[in-house]
Amino acid sequence: MSNKLAISGGTPVRNIQTHPWPSWPIRTYEEWKLEIEPLLREVYMSGNEGSGGEMIPRFCDQYAKYTRTNYALFMPHGTDAIGAALAGALDLDGFSDGGEVIVPNYTFVATASAVLERRCTVAYVDVCPDTFTIDPKAVEAAIRPETRAILPVHLGGHPAEMGALHEIAQRHQLKIIEDCAQAHGAEFRTKKVGGLGDVGAFSFQSSKNLTSGEGGMVTTDDKDIHDRVCAFMNVGRAPGGARWEYPRLGWNYRPSEYLAVLLSVRLEHLEAQTDQRSRNANYLSKTLTDITGITPPIQASWVTKHGYHLYCMKYNPDGFGGKSRDEFVKALSAEGIPCSIGYRSPLSQEPGMAHVAEKYPHLIRTLPCSNAELVCNQSVWLFQNLLLGTQSDDLCQLITFV
């Protein structure tokens, strides 16, 4: 290896032109020919590409079995899934004040924007500095009479501390809506996410560990929530009800049969891919533990399977001669390791959300979030497709070198 960094003109440790990382989504001609093409043809020839087709119900049953939940409802997007889950759990019609929902202040914008779109208000609370997930103590401190729900995010694939959150929710009669967008396959004490709260919401967006480019899913064990979500996404119809009868007011969030084909095939590989990511992440963490300046992801005691959509490290410039995190990330990227600093600020401070809070102060409440600010200043993310490589790949060697 050259002693000169690629960013300074040296040879990159990994030439991504000749030695690319695993692409995502994984696609092969054999899978297309043997599995996907026949199913797409089946949908095409059936004449039922949306309502009335067989592929979506088949995939919903498949996903419910995978998450070990009673019900699963396919949605066009993950954001829609969060909104539908809120509507189902809180029995929202979209016209009155839905109450307050507690949200972690370190998350993707859709976690909170979906809450606002359902005419609920947002209370931003702090996260735990090690797991990057919502802090139960901060949740407890934020509860007030208007509070109706807690919306934990299993960030990066690490399940939130659902045991403590359940105890809080029961004591205060609150609903729990899980944001599982980054946590396909993750487990809390051997139970899959999506079945840990009253309702779960998943995303199948193009970067996710299970993808159809776009798509979402709502999972629940509660029949009433299922029925309300069904009405929400299917113009108010009851499950199995007549086409021209609308017992509730609903909207049209029906997805395509073709997307269900991709997901049904790819779901068969999800568990093995999750295990592979976990093995590689554990290998990487053992190596990085001895490197001053890098704190590998913490896996809490309640996590029996990490989803590893993201490998979230923490960076300390003191371990790298005072190099800033931006310098470190640029150097890694130049060496052929794609990475990111992740969320640049707590969500409450992002300009769009801050504008809403300034213009409509009654909609957003922000509690002290010092840990979220710390994580935003320290985090370095590696992406899930890197963890689908082999343990001989260059991650550990490169970070030591930089």
Kindly tell me if the per-residue pLDDT of 192 is higher than 70: yes
pLDDT band, residue 37 (cuts 50/70/90):
very high
The b-or-e profile of 318-332 (16+ CB within 10 A means b, else e) is eebeebebeebbbbb
- Reported as a single tens digit per residue, the pLDDT across 115-149 is 999 999 999 999 999 999 999 999 999 999 999 99
8-state DSSP, 153 = B
Contact at 8 Å (CB) between 214 and 204?
A: yes
The b-or-e profile of 275-310 (16+ CB within 10 A means b, else e) is ebbbebbbbbbebbeebebbbbbebeebbebbbbbb
C-alpha 218/C-alpha 237 separation (Å) is: 17
pLDDT band, residue 392 (cuts 50/70/90):
low
Contact at 8 Å (CB) between 199 and 220?
A: yes
- DSSP track, 305-367: E---SEEEEEE-GGGGTT--HHHHHHHHHHTT--EE---SS-GGGSHHHHHHHHH-TTTEEE-
Helix, strand or coil, per DSSP, at residue 145: coil
- Reported as a single tens digit per residue, the pLDDT across 297-347 is 999 999 999 999 999 999 999 999 999 999 999 999 999 999 999 999 999
What pLDDT score was predicted for residue 88? Answer: 98
**What are the φ and ψ backbone dihedral angles of 179, each rounded to 5 degrees?**
-95, 100
Tokens read off for 242: 């007549």
pLDDT band, residue 50 (cuts 50/70/90):
confident
What pLDDT score was predicted for residue 14? Answer: 87
Contact at 8 Å (CB) between 383 and 307?
A: no
C-alpha 24/C-alpha 267 separation (Å) is: 14
What pLDDT score was predicted for residue 397? Answer: 65
**What are the φ and ψ backbone dihedral angles of 80, each rounded to 5 degrees?**
-60, -35
